[in-house]
Structure 1
Amino acid sequence: MKLFKYISLLLVAAVTSCSTDSEDLKPVNETEGLIKIQTIENETHEAELYSESGGLQTGYNKMVLRLMDKSTKEFVQDADIEWNPMMHMETKQHSAPKSEVLKIPGTNTLFEGYIVFQMPENEIEFWRLTLNYSLDGNDYSMGDKISVPASEKRRVAVFLGTDDVKYILALVEPTTPKIATNDISAALFRMENMQSFPVVNNYRILIDPRMPGMDNHSSPNNVPLTQSGAGELYEGKLNLTMSGYWKINLQVENPEGEVMKGEKVEGTNEASSIFFELEF
């Protein structure tokens, strides 16, 4: 009887162990919570582009991608990837501010980065994304048109500063604003040429949120956006006291405190010439 009980316990332990091992081997869906934007391909590989919304829009866009080998149907785990967005206009072409494409820590196949599309597509002009990548000592390239419609609210400001430099200022957060003191972040770039848009460091971005539909009232305790280090986003605090449409008036100052662009909201001036928009 004791032997039977002992064997039964061993069988239970074995079944439990097999069940646990089976669960441990269950495939992980690394793109869970992401929606595919589109696939770009060449003769050897497919690149899947993802975002949280499943689309792109004018302004700051964080994207995730992964590469699949067409012959093995397996996703690539290690590659050096660069991307280059290009706006094809009627008379000229230009690129856009963009980050490096880096492997996402803790994942096997996912890479991420951001692109700031400073203008939307239209019936004639369009964006094309080219991916250049190195894999197992070989170099590859692929590219295709991508859809970049205008955002519903203004999320990017392109302007010429008082120093005759063209700047691109893009809202990053909040994407889901609330009645509270929100963390606000933005990315600031300068146009070096049609292909190069380096990050601008050590500036300051003043914010004055207003509700045009509510007598243009503002809110207290807003904190200007500053960097914690070179190459980082600009971060501050944005106090939204009620739901509705807000215009976030902006002023951009250089390290000497000189205003490169933007005006104070005071007297008869009800808005700055550069601003973001939020509505919730």
Structure 2
Amino acid sequence: MKTLKYIFAILIISASFLSCSTDNDDEPTPMNPVAGLIKIYEFSEADHTVEIYSEKQVLEVGYNELSIRILDKASNNYISNAEPTWMPMMHMESMSHSGPHSMLRNTENETVYKGHIVFQMAENDTEYWEVALNYNFNGEPMSMAQRVSVVQPVDGFRKTQVFTGADEVRYIMAFVNPKDPQVAINDFQAVLYKMENMMTFPVVENYKVTVDPRMPSMGNHTSPNNEDMVYNAATKMYNGKLSFTMTGYWKINLKLLNASGEVLKGEDITDDNPASSLYFELEF
């Protein structure tokens, strides 16, 4: 009987151990909220660090989606109540100006703040971009202004248009999606801002952008089932559909129409006019 008691005791202890091991194994590993992003900048202060993440290796002329985190050095935790705001500034030889940008908002993870900036021009030897950031850290207001590097797109294609419309308003239009175009019907997305003054660039609402993609090297043929871009109030972007029938170089010819249907920029494609003055470029 004593032997049986010892055997049962050993079995119970073993079962308890296995149960504990299984429970621990089933605990989910914390997700990295910036997985897949590249930390392109890290600015260190005495008691905290500001980190800036991007899908790209470098900031480029055009649309740049950025994520910001603030690390408390004492606790080694990222803070969730920073309420950050930002302002991009281009410092030129004779003047300074800002650029189109969204608000910074919390993502699914409350320690990550996401937004976008549209840089209208690249830096050079004497002119440069700076991002001013205001935020709270442990209840105290903080601010910093850091120089950032902005270059022309690596692929060399035009994905940003800065122009004056027929209404004499200065506009900035920037390509957002598709980031990975396919031979298919792709979701097409862009942002549209106007310049009120050197510091103020509000979103343009309820306009329309017509879409006519062409392949110049293939007789300038177009593609079926494209959809013009219209304003989406939820995202504050313009959404449409972009059809690609084959890989290669595409020029996406565009026209910008105001709420009254008046053409502000761009032209129809005809035998005598093979390209619009308003366009984006892609190659895949």
Same fold? TM cut 0.5? yes
CA contact (8 A) 2:81 2:136 kept: no
Give the secondary-structure state (helix, strand or coil) at the position aligned to 1:80. coil
Is structure 2 residue 239 aligned with structure 1 residue 235?
yes
Q: CA deviation at 1:53?
A: 2.6
Identity of aligned residues (%): 43
CA contact (8 A) 1:223 1:236 kept: yes
Aligned match of 2:198: 194
- Alignment counterpart, residue 91 of structure 2, candidates 88, 92, 98: 88
CA contact (8 A) 2:209 2:254 kept: yes
Aligned match of 2:269: 265
- Alignment counterpart, residue 31 of structure 1, candidates 30, 34, 53: 34
> Is 245-254 or 72-81 further displaced after alignment?
72-81
Aligned match of 1:48: 51
Is structure 2 residue 226 aligned with structure 1 residue 222?
yes
Distance 2:198 2:274 in 1: 34
1:37-57 residue CA offsets vs partner (Å, 9 max, x unmatched): 111233332111111233221
Distance 2:281 2:24 in 1: 51
TM-score (norm 1): 0.93
Is structure 2 residue 261 aligned with structure 1 residue 275?
no
Is structure 2 residue 181 aligned with structure 1 residue 177?
yes
- Alignment counterpart, residue 167 of structure 1, candidates 163, 171, 186: 171
CA contact (8 A) 1:201 1:230 kept: no
TM-score (norm 2): 0.91
Aligned match of 2:142: 140
Give the secondary-structure state (helix, strand or coil) at the position aligned to 1:11. helix
Larger Rg: 2
Matched positions, count: 279
CA contact (8 A) 2:188 2:242 kept: yes
1:214-260 residue CA offsets vs partner (Å, 9 max, x unmatched): 12111122110002327621111111111001011110000100001
Distance 1:257 1:10 in 2: 78
Residue correspondence of structure 1 range 62-73 to structure 2 within 5 A? 62-73=65-76
Residue correspondence of structure 1 range 90-169 to structure 2 within 5 A? 90-105=93-108, 107-151=109-153, 152-169=156-173
CA contact (8 A) 2:58 2:151 kept: no
Matching residue's letter, 2:112: L
Distance 1:122 1:276 in 2: 24
Distance 1:274 1:94 in 2: 24
- Alignment counterpart, residue 245 of structure 1, candidates 242, 249, 263: 249
What RMSD over aligned residues (CA atoms) do the two structures have, in Å?
1.9
Give the secondary-structure state (helix, strand or coil) at the position aligned to 2:23. helix
CA contact (8 A) 1:199 1:231 kept: no
Q: CA deviation at 1:26?
A: 4.7
Q: CA deviation at 1:77?
A: 2.2
